[in-house]
Protein backbone atom coordinates (compact mmCIF):
# COMPACT_ATOMS: atom_id res chain seq x y z
CA UNK A 1 0.00 0.00 0.00
CA UNK A 2 2.93 2.36 0.46
CA UNK A 3 3.30 2.60 -3.32
CA UNK A 4 -0.12 4.29 -3.76
CA UNK A 5 1.07 7.86 -3.03
CA UNK A 6 3.47 7.47 -5.94
CA UNK A 7 1.24 5.72 -8.48
CA UNK A 8 -2.04 7.55 -7.94
CA UNK A 9 -0.75 11.07 -8.74
CA UNK A 10 1.04 9.67 -11.78
CA UNK A 11 -2.15 7.99 -12.95
CA UNK A 12 -4.12 11.21 -12.42
CA UNK A 13 -1.56 13.21 -14.42
CA UNK A 14 -1.41 10.73 -17.28
CA UNK A 15 -5.08 9.74 -17.38
CA UNK A 16 -6.66 13.12 -16.76
CA UNK A 17 -10.01 13.55 -15.02
CA UNK A 18 -11.52 10.31 -13.78
CA UNK A 19 -14.86 10.76 -15.57
CA UNK A 20 -13.07 10.26 -18.89
CA UNK A 21 -11.61 6.94 -17.72
CA UNK A 22 -14.71 5.41 -16.18
CA UNK A 23 -16.71 2.94 -18.22
CA UNK A 24 -19.91 3.38 -16.20
CA UNK A 25 -21.62 6.00 -18.44
CA UNK A 26 -20.95 3.92 -21.53
CA UNK A 27 -22.13 0.72 -19.89
CA UNK A 28 -25.30 2.45 -18.77
CA UNK A 29 -25.93 3.75 -22.29
CA UNK A 30 -25.33 0.30 -23.78
CA UNK A 31 -27.78 -1.10 -21.24
CA UNK A 32 -30.49 1.32 -22.39
CA UNK A 33 -29.82 0.29 -25.98
CA UNK A 34 -29.96 -3.40 -25.04
CA UNK A 35 -33.34 -2.82 -23.40
CA UNK A 36 -34.67 -1.61 -26.75
CA UNK A 37 -33.66 -4.79 -28.61
CA UNK A 38 -36.64 -6.33 -30.38
CA UNK A 39 -35.00 -8.98 -32.56
CA UNK A 40 -32.94 -11.29 -30.35
CA UNK A 41 -31.65 -13.21 -33.38
CA UNK A 42 -29.71 -10.17 -34.63
CA UNK A 43 -28.88 -8.21 -31.49
CA UNK A 44 -26.20 -5.94 -33.01
CA UNK A 45 -28.43 -4.80 -35.85
CA UNK A 46 -31.31 -4.24 -33.47
CA UNK A 47 -29.10 -2.10 -31.19
CA UNK A 48 -27.97 -0.01 -34.18
CA UNK A 49 -31.56 0.40 -35.30
CA UNK A 50 -32.67 1.49 -31.81
CA UNK A 51 -29.86 4.05 -31.67
CA UNK A 52 -30.75 5.44 -35.09
CA UNK A 53 -34.44 5.66 -34.21
CA UNK A 54 -33.65 7.56 -31.01
CA UNK A 55 -31.26 9.96 -32.74
CA UNK A 56 -33.68 10.57 -35.61
CA UNK A 57 -36.64 11.19 -33.32
CA UNK A 58 -34.61 13.60 -31.18
CA UNK A 59 -33.41 15.47 -34.27
CA UNK A 60 -36.91 15.66 -35.73
CA UNK A 61 -38.40 16.90 -32.45
CA UNK A 62 -36.52 20.18 -32.85
CA UNK A 63 -38.68 20.95 -35.88
CA UNK A 64 -42.06 20.25 -34.21
CA UNK A 65 -44.22 23.20 -33.25
CA UNK A 66 -43.84 24.10 -29.56
CA UNK A 67 -47.35 22.87 -28.68
CA UNK A 68 -46.72 19.30 -29.92
CA UNK A 69 -45.94 17.10 -26.91
CA UNK A 70 -42.71 15.12 -27.16
CA UNK A 71 -39.93 14.04 -24.82
CA UNK A 72 -37.99 17.26 -25.39
CA UNK A 73 -40.94 19.57 -24.60
CA UNK A 74 -42.31 17.52 -21.71
CA UNK A 75 -43.26 19.44 -18.56
CA UNK A 76 -40.73 18.83 -15.78
CA UNK A 77 -41.69 16.31 -13.14
CA UNK A 78 -41.89 18.77 -10.25
CA UNK A 79 -43.77 21.47 -12.16
CA UNK A 80 -47.23 21.70 -10.64
CA UNK A 81 -48.43 24.47 -12.95
CA UNK A 82 -48.52 27.04 -10.14
CA UNK A 83 -48.23 30.77 -10.66
CA UNK A 84 -45.42 33.03 -9.55
CA UNK A 85 -46.37 35.26 -6.67
CA UNK A 86 -45.02 38.67 -5.83
CA UNK A 87 -44.84 40.18 -2.38
CA UNK A 88 -46.14 43.51 -3.61
CA UNK A 89 -44.74 47.04 -3.93
CA UNK A 90 -44.72 48.07 -0.23
CA UNK A 91 -42.76 44.97 0.76
CA UNK A 92 -40.43 45.32 -2.21
CA UNK A 93 -39.40 48.77 -0.97
CA UNK A 94 -38.80 47.43 2.55
CA UNK A 95 -36.77 44.53 1.14
CA UNK A 96 -34.62 46.93 -0.87
CA UNK A 97 -33.96 49.12 2.20
CA UNK A 98 -33.02 46.11 4.31
CA UNK A 99 -30.61 44.90 1.65
CA UNK A 100 -28.91 48.32 1.48
CA UNK A 101 -28.54 48.49 5.28
CA UNK A 102 -27.15 44.98 5.48
CA UNK A 103 -24.75 45.67 2.62
CA UNK A 104 -23.34 48.69 4.47
CA UNK A 105 -22.99 46.67 7.68
CA UNK A 106 -21.32 43.78 5.88
CA UNK A 107 -18.90 46.15 4.13
CA UNK A 108 -17.86 47.58 7.51
CA UNK A 109 -17.36 44.07 8.90
CA UNK A 110 -15.33 43.03 5.85
CA UNK A 111 -13.06 46.07 6.16
CA UNK A 112 -12.56 45.41 9.89
CA UNK A 113 -11.81 41.73 9.23
CA UNK A 114 -9.31 42.54 6.48
CA UNK A 115 -7.47 45.07 8.63
CA UNK A 116 -7.28 42.61 11.55
CA UNK A 117 -6.11 39.75 9.36
CA UNK A 118 -3.44 41.94 7.74
CA UNK A 119 -2.32 43.11 11.15
CA UNK A 120 -2.18 39.54 12.50
CA UNK A 121 -0.37 38.18 9.47
CA UNK A 122 2.26 40.93 9.49
CA UNK A 123 2.87 40.52 13.24
CA UNK A 124 3.14 36.73 12.89
CA UNK A 125 5.68 37.13 10.06
CA UNK A 126 7.73 39.50 12.21
CA UNK A 127 7.63 36.96 15.07
CA UNK A 128 8.75 34.18 12.72
CA UNK A 129 11.67 36.30 11.51
CA UNK A 130 12.69 37.12 15.09
CA UNK A 131 12.56 33.44 16.09
CA UNK A 132 14.87 32.44 13.24
Average pLDDT along the chain, 132 residues, taken 10 residues at a time: 76 78 84 88 89 91 87 79 73 86 89 87 64 60
d(CA 4, CA 120): 39
Q: Which residues fall within 8 angstroms of residue 21, CB to CB, at 6 or more apart? A: 15
* Cβ atoms of residues 15 and 21 within 8 Å: yes
Residue 12's pLDDT is what?
78
Backbone CA torsion sign across 34, 37, 41, 43: negative
Q: In this predicted structure, what is the pLDDT of residue 130?
A: 61
- Say what the pLDDT of residue 129 is: 55
Amino acid sequence: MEHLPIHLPYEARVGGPVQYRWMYPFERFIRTLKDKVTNTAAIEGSICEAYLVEETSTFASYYYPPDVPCRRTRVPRNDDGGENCSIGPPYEEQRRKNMEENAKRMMDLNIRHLSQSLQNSSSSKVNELNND
